[in-house]
């Protein structure tokens, strides 16, 4: 039933890295796209994986890089072809709409949305031929709005719509398309490490430099500092990626995969992000606005 190859995306850390290891153990050939093929994540995977795992240099934000990755995969492709593709690259950028620079918004869109489309368009002909699977990693944040994180949420909302449309388009080819919506797994991936926090601070400085005098005067620099502190204080993430990897595996090899896999992730009783994703479609706007205001404190300035 299952062909021997999977095309993954972004195995530097997190979901892609751990899924590549899981599929390798299950005996599949894996083409693992990696932004940093000489980085620690790729080296760690390469040192432990079998020869079935091929680490492929790939920047989903770059057309030339994607074309080169496609050419490489074609030279190594097993006779049975590719059964599934798993676009999962992600880039987060924080900030209120008034603070965001167009450059940062474009970068988030280029990775989260355009990157998924680039990868899917490149490898979909193989999946159509095998009547296989497309499993797209989105986020619970593609299901509800959030002040201070609009750019990231927007990319995930858009990704969900494209994935839903693709699922309908692929029915005639008997290709199944699933969406994975992880909750808070930031500590188990690369979202809460020193490199990311350094990037957040640099982006906050960029927003401050490019902001108008009116925005600087109205908000003050403390507003941006509090934004970084709030992100740093988020320590309730689920400690491992295993629940998400289980969902990815099921979407790839189950005869009847689900359309959506909403996977809560927290070390507390429940994941508030996943709860918001589940409830938002059923809440009247006045109530959801009130709840999100109380949750985020967006109606007042930080102390």
Please tell me the chain's helix, strand, coil percentages from 3-state DSSP, rounded to the nearest 5.
Answer: 55, 10, 35
**Could you give the CA distance from residue 22 to residue 138 in angstroms, rounded to a whole number?**
20
Which of 6, 144, 152, 200 is catalytic? The answer is 152
Edge to edge, what strands does the sheet with 53-57 contain?
53-57, 29-34, 5-8, 84-86, 133-137, 176-182, 260-263
Residue 152 CB neighbour total at 10 angstroms: 22
Q: What is the signed CA dihedral for 295, 191, 270, 284, rounded to 10 degrees?
A: 40
Cβ contact 16:245 at 8 Å: no
| Residue 144 annotated to the active site | no
Please provide the size of the chain in residues: 303
Active-site residues, by number, are 152
């Amino acid at each position: 039933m299952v062909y021997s190859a999977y095309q993954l995306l972004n195995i530097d850390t997190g979901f892609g890295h751990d899924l590549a290891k899981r599929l390798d153990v299950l005996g599949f050939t894996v083409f693992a796209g990696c932004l940093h093929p000489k980085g620690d994540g790729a080296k760690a995977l390469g040192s432990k994986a079998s020869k079935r795992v091929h680490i492929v240099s790939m920047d989903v934000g770059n057309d030339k890089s994607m074309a080169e990755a496609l050419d490489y995969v074609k030279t190594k492709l097993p006779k049975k072809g590719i059964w599934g593709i798993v676009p999962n690259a992600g880039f987060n950028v924080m900030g209120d709409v008034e603070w965001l620079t167009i450059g940062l918004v474009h970068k988030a869109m280029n990775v989260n949305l355009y990157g998924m489309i680039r990868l899917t368009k490149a490898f979909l002909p193989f999946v159509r031929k095998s009547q296989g699977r497309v499993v797209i990693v989105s986020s619970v944040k593609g299901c509800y709005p959030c002040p201070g994180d609009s750019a990231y949420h927007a990319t995930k909302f858009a990704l969900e719509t494209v994935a839903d449309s693709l699922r309908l388009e692929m029915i005639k080819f008997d290709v199944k398309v699933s969406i994975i919506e992880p909750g808070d797994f930031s500590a188990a991936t690369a979202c809460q490490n020193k490199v990311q926090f350094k990037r957040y601070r640099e982006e906050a400085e960029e927003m401050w430099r490019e902001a108008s005098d009116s925005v600087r005067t109205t908000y003050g620099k403390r507003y941006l500092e509090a934004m970084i502190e709030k992100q740093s204080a988020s320590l309730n993430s689920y400690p491992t990626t295993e629940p998400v990897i289980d969902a990815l595996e099921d979407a790839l090899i189950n005869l009847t995969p689900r359309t959506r896999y909403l996977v809560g992730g927290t070390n507390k009783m429940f994941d508030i992000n996943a709860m918001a994703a589940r409830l938002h479609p059923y809440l009247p706007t006045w109530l959801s606005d009130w709840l999100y205001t109380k949750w985020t404190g967006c109606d007042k300035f930080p102390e």
